[in-house]
Structure 1
Amino acid sequence: MKLQAFLPLVTYPDSNSDAIASNATAIAAYLGAELHAEVITAHIPNVSNATSRLLLEVPELIRKAEAASRQRGEYLLEKIREESAMKLVKLTTSLSSAALLFVGEAAAIEARYFDLSLLGWEAGNSTSRATAEAVLFGSGRPAILLPETQAIGSISHVAIAWDGSRVAVRAVADAKPFLERASKITVLTVVGEKPLMEENGAERLAAGLTKRGLIAEATPISTEDYPVGIGLQVHAIARGASLLVMGGYGHSVVRDFVLGGATEDVLDDLRLPVLFSH
């Protein structure tokens, strides 16, 4: 059974960068997954009131913004078609529209029909962040954040952030396609930050993965010089990992997201691809 990957593309007011085409298709090719890319263009309502009637240029500004959104979406889809053809990835595409405040929610609903989501991540891009948070906490599916500053290839070494929690367990299960393909797995446990459910939990997880025919080792780390989410990424990169797997802590309140500390650290400063599961 082929994995089905979903790639939502945002275009307004901030657009995904061109890097999403290469990175998303690289992950799909590595997994042997089929990729569905959907451009979600912005629908901007024309508020009809006394003030707007005085601003005669408003309808024209809205028309231009929506046209620019569609044009950028078509450009991104063409880039993805080119990359998919080069990497022999089976691709389907679609185009939809949503009101600005509901773009993330539309992406989250669509993501429920796929095995995982691939999300472009650009520093300072509030549109991609809001969409990623909505998918992460609203889709019920794992999501991989793909940093635009990094060219992504094969994922040979996977790091797991392990604290024994329910979301960490789910993240490991959701990462199975990557774990099965990895030549090395490192289980990272932060010591001295909070009480752990089990002192030897990382060793038990590594042993369980080894029994399943995988190559895994447990590594305790200290992040005292960094926020936890940054420290996890720093240690993962230092050990040669090309993917970090972790549980996503947080919940949404009327589309404003209340995040756990490590989750927010990663979203604020993404340094390598991270598979989040909530």
Structure 2
Amino acid sequence: MYKSILAISEGGPDAVLSFRLAARVAVLFDATVDAVHFSEARRGDADIALQSMPFLKTDSDTRVEARARESERAYRELIAPLAGATFSGPGLKRARLVAMGRESSLLLLGRPGGDPENIAPETVHAALYECARPVMIAPPHADHRPISSVVVAWNGSAQAARAVGYAMPFLAKAQKVTVLVAGAAPDAVGTPFLVRTLGRHGIAAAVETMDSGEVSGRARGRALLEYTKERGAGLLVMGAYGHGGLSNFLGLGGATAKVIASCPMPLLLAH
């Protein structure tokens, strides 16, 4: 059961979206939310520009302060009314964030992407690879519908198994659970055992298959998103596949990265 939720914001558009979803999940499971504002110095062109044109630093510092105020304002409006809620402001270091994440039941973040106002991919990377806890990504549009239908992307892997285990509180409350097996025969990836185990927890799961053919990882990710959206699911559960580096987006496989960057509903991940 989720009793301690760590909600992370960088103060951009994700602040309200991630904090609102954290409040919804907290109410659903009678949990406590620890909200944090966390922002690492961005590398690359922005840093080069600041070095070559120091007069830009004032504007940069002003925006950093404004983003921290956005996080605090979203906390006051959405999370502070919940019993036991806490807020940690600017200055939080990555090591402290990771330590908090490892002691939480669930981490909740906004969606990463190319927009510098959204949460940084490095932050999601730290949550997935360093905290060893389930990570929920909030979609870019608020959805007030109850999470009554859940799709589980299943391939029999260790990551998928961890994701299912972490998602059990949601699965137990859902009215409909669908185990989607993509690109494999259900028996070949242990699907009957998964369904049997879920049944022992009182969860009646239906099994469906999807074969997107010999396509790229990103295409498989798109197919999974289309399936989940067509079924009207309120939550997608899947393993996060890839390596620990950041040589590509999040250091994850193409399908996982595509789903994270484009999922229109809450997404629960485990690595």
Alignment partner, residue 49 of structure 1: none
Q: AA paired with 1:272? A: M
1:114 matched to 2:104? The reply is: yes
Q: Distance in 2 between matches of 1:260 and 1:143?
A: 17
Q: Distance in 1 between matches of 2:98 and 2:192?
A: 35
Q: Distance in 1 between matches of 2:200 and 2:139?
A: 33
Q: Which moved more, 1:137-146 or 1:203-212?
A: 203-212
The partner residue of 1:81 within 76, 93, 114 is: 76
Q: 1:223 to 1:272 in 2, by over 3 A?
A: farther
1:65 matched to 2:67? The reply is: no
Q: Distance in 2 between matches of 1:146 and 1:180?
A: 21
Larger radius of gyration: 1
Identity %: 28
Q: CA deviation at 1:42?
A: 4.9
Q: Deviations over 1:7-28 (max 9, x none)?
A: 12114xx663533332222222
Q: Answer whether contact 1:41 1:70 (CA < 8 A) is retained.
A: no
The partner residue of 1:148 within 140, 143, 151 is: 140
Q: Answer whether contact 2:260 2:267 (CA < 8 A) is retained.
A: no
Q: Distance in 1 between matches of 2:56 and 2:62?
A: 10
Q: CA deviation at 1:189?
A: 0.2
Alignment partner, residue 179 of structure 1: 171
Q: Answer whether contact 1:44 1:62 (CA < 8 A) is retained.
A: no
Alignment partner, residue 48 of structure 1: none
1:94 matched to 2:99? The reply is: no
Q: 1:28 to 1:255 in 2, by over 3 A?
A: farther
Q: Answer whether contact 1:190 1:221 (CA < 8 A) is retained.
A: yes
Q: Distance in 2 between matches of 1:254 and 1:220?
A: 31
Alignment partner, residue 198 of structure 2: 209
Q: Distance in 2 between matches of 1:245 and 1:198?
A: 20
1:31 matched to 2:29? The reply is: yes
Q: Distance in 2 between matches of 1:173 and 1:116?
A: 12
Q: Distance in 2 between matches of 1:160 and 1:67?
A: 43
> Over aligned residues, Cα RMSD in angstroms?
3.1
Q: Deviations over 1:222-260 (max 9, x none)?
A: 234872222222212222211111111122237864312
TM-score (norm: length of structure 1):
0.80
Gaps of 5+ in 2: 44-49
- Name the structure with the higher strand share: 1
Q: Answer whether contact 1:157 1:240 (CA < 8 A) is retained.
A: yes
1:242 matched to 2:231? The reply is: no
Q: AA paired with 1:189? A: V
